Structure 1
Amino acid sequence: MNTEVVGTSGVRIALRVEGAQNSRPLVFVHGWAQSSRAWAAQFADPALTERFRLVAMDLRGHGASDVPAAGYDDPRQWADDLAAVLDFAGPGAIVVGWSYGGLVLTDYLRVHGSARLGGIVLVGAITEIGRGRAGGKTGAVMRAALPAALSDDSGVAVPALVEFTRSMATGPVPGTYEQALLGASLAVPPAVRAALFKGDVESAGVLQAVDKPALVLSGTADAVVDPSAADYAAGKIPGAVQRWFVEAGHLPFVEDAGEFNSALRQFAGETGQ
């Protein structure tokens, strides 16, 4: 099912929803220049959809959501967008933040705290942004894509985004899925792609204040977000459980979907209401 909610400043936030309405919600937040379709392997798993209510959002400026001219460097706007999604999903949600989605989740915690959450999952995620921020350290693949991937010249941006997409994973992923990732990136306006890199946000205190169960997942060979960003988050969040997907890259939920989904089910079960 596709639906939408209204985020901050009246921005429409598109949602993809699967599972029974009275089931415990799992809310998925995608990464930079992507969309809710990134979670296809989770939405296709009956072991998840028959037990939980899956809600995946398109961030503002991405997918089928509205594309406002500004606000991409404002933590409160991200926080309030996610708050609107959580209002729809229901209490006790476990929020899964991948890549830039980890920063959106951290912004939510910064503004609204953790009272409404059942737990958090960070997947190849950043939790900070800005030069020298340990929680936002990027890898060689991300650095190689910039600044070309931000250009409004298709002759410059398209090759960079093709190479970036191909290099997300360390092993093969379905060709249709890889092309969907590329299509999602190209659908995000260049100005939005660039705007997400603006800002300087430190999150040590936010992470240290987390009082809900937390799971930090990362591929050991992630070259988009440096694995040290996962170490940073896991080291700051009290009681966080850290798990590595050996030799996986930036897409462990696709590269090893069965193991990823099993880890998610186990974590959600252990943090059951």
Structure 2
Amino acid sequence: MLEVIDKGAAGQVHPAPLLFVHGGWHGAWCWDDGFLDYFADAGYRAVAMSLRGHGTSPTDKPLPKVSVTDYVDDVRAVADDLGGSPVLIGHSLGGYTIQRYLEDRRAAAAVLVGSLPPSGVLGTSLRVWCRRPTMTIESWNDPTLLKFLATPALAREYLFCADTPEDIVESCRHRAGPESIRAAMTDPMLRRVKTKRVTTPVLVLGATHDGFVSKAAVRATARAYGTTAEFFTMGHNMMLEPGWTDVAARIDAWLQTRDLAGRSQLSG
């Protein structure tokens, strides 16, 4: 059984449930610090899942062997439990997973938050490698990839802004868990998203101080889906940074412009 945190209830105004998918090292907990209550209070059913091997979700194989395809299967399983056509909201690697899911399935809508681009992880990896080549080489011998978050300074550099309160950075770092090197590095380096197969409307959001995903990568994602990227002045963890309510409010406003009731009936 995958870990799921479920808050609020769908209604006539917001009939499609929201399914939040976390990125690398994280779990459902990263949405439960604010986003889930925000959307539940706004009249949505807000559900966050932990992919296998994250949070309290079990995995039937060693985590380093877990693939993006496995993550896509996890999203499909929870989406089906929610009726097959939730709004999908994914962060970082979770955003890439959602894009792969949408190659074969439609959803009421999708929101990519600081997501890896359809081209995968190569550009992001090169950006990181250029900053810290020695640590990057060492990380290939660490199948958990936790070296990138080994110290508060590293966690801040990659996930947060320079002025983010220390308690927020430390809270995240202490809850972060291992990540699959195959799902986070190998698979997204070898496999692009087949964007022409994605028909779901997509909102693309990025952060100006993102230590992983560059603004150019966010813009490339938006172009791939025929839309324009929108940016917030914060770091990579847009759902945990001070100012996260601005991100949530933008998602809420965008969803209210969609015919989610109609799309919910057509999706799946």
Task: Normalising by structure 1, report the TM-score.
Answer: 0.77
Structure 1 counterpart of 2:173, from 169, 174, 182: 182
Q: Distance in 2 between matches of 1:268 and 1:80?
A: 25
1:175-254 alignment, distance < 5 Å: 175-185=166-176, 187-188=177-178, 192-193=180-181, 196-199=184-187, 200-203=189-192, 206-238=194-226, 240-246=227-233, 248-254=234-240
Q: Is the 8 A contact 1:95 1:105 kept in 2?
A: yes
For residues 7-22 of structure 1, the aligned pairs below 5 Å read: 12-22=1-11
Two-structure CA RMSD over aligned residues (Å): 3.1
Is it true that 1:92 corresponds to 2:85 in the alignment?
yes
Deviation at 1:180, TM superposition (A): 2.9
Hey, what's the Cα distance between the residues in 2 that align with 1:123 and 1:257? 11
2:249 equivalent to 1:259: no
CA 1:148–1:58: 2 relative to 1, 3 Å: farther
The normalised TM-score by structure 2 is 0.79
Shift of 1:211: 1.8
Q: 1:7 matched to which residue of 2?
A: none
CA deviations 1:3-58 (Å, max 9, x no partner) are xxxxxxxxx3211111115553111111111111111221232x543411111111
Structure 1: unaligned runs, 5 residues or longer: 1-11
Q: How many residue pairs align between the two structures?
A: 249
Unmatched runs of 5 consecutive residues or more in structure 2 = 262-268
Secondary structure of the equivalent of 2:71? helix
Q: 5 Å matches for 1:67-86?
A: 67=59, 68-69=61-62, 72=65, 74-86=67-79
The alpha-carbon distance between structure 1 residues 138 and 17, as it changes in their structure 2 partners (threshold 3 A), is farther
Superposed, which structure 2 residues align to 1:35-50 within 5 Å?
A: 35-39=27-31, 40-45=33-38, 48-50=40-42
Instruction: Please say if residues 94 and 118 of structure 1, whose CA atoms lie closer than 8 Å, have aligned partners that are also in contact.
Output: yes
Matches within 5 A, 1:49-128: 49-67=41-59, 68-69=61-62, 72=65, 74-110=67-103, 112-114=104-106, 117-128=107-118
Paired residue secondary structure (1:81): helix
More strand by share: 1
| Structure 1 residues 146 and 161: CA distance shift in structure 2, 3 A | farther
Instruction: Describe how 1:144-163 pairs up with structure 2 within 5 A.
Output: 144=132, 146-148=136-138, 157=147, 160-163=150-153
- Report if the CA contact (8 A) 1:151-1:157 is conserved: no
CA distance in 1, matches of 2:182, 2:70: 17
Residue of structure 1 in register with 2:266 after alignment: none
Percent of pairs with identical residues: 22
Structure number with the bigger relative contact order (C-alpha 8 A, sep ≥ 6) is 2
CA contact (8 A) 2:8 2:43 kept: yes
